[in-house]
Amino acid sequence: MHLRGLVAGIALALGAMFAAGAFAQAKPETLVDNRQAAMKLMGKYFYGSLAPMARGRMPYDAGVAARNVGYLDVLSKMPWADFAPSTKDTKSEALPAVFSEPAKFKDAQDHLQQQVSKLSEIVKAGNEAEVKAAILAVNDSCSSCHDSFRQKR
């Protein structure tokens, strides 16, 4: 390889490393902040509205339910990548099982997303009783995962 080519190759490689390093390897604290933000917003739309509607503790509003299920469908995809191994020792409510039982944690994520997908379909069909039952199924998925992977509150 000519010297010029070698230098250019090294420069390119360094550039790529810099780009990847600058953006892909966020600080553990940033990852925790971001995943907590996604969880907080899921809580806002789920526990603050969908769950109380399903339990009859808040008047059922089909428009709000459809909107919030749409939000939840997107939000429920966001937190998982931020449970990176680099955050294992960062202060948060995550239990060690998140990192010691990744396959089980992944199953719990998948289960939530399946339940939310079902709820998304059901909310489009618009049968209130079915929507409420599907919301409660999502609630079970939240609770089950929290029981195994989040500190008791």
Match 């360094």 to its residue by tokens: 14
Over the range 20-38, which residues count as b (16 or more CB within 10 Å of their CB) and which as e?
Answer: eeeeeebebeebbeebeeb
Question: Shortest Cβ distance from residue 123 to a second copy (Å)?
Answer: 15
Q: Give the total residue count for the chain.
A: 153
CB closer to a second copy, 69 vs 98: 69
Question: Shortest Cβ distance from residue 41 to a second copy (Å)?
Answer: 5
CB closer to a second copy, 23 vs 103: 23
Burial class (CB in 10 A: 0-12, 13-18, 19+), 139: middle
Question: Shortest Cβ distance from residue 2 to a second copy (Å)?
Answer: 26
CB closer to a second copy, 32 vs 142: 32
Residue numbers at the binding site for a second copy (CB under 8 A): 16, 19, 22-23, 26, 33-34, 36-38, 40-41, 44, 48-49, 52, 57-59, 70-71, 74-75, 77-78
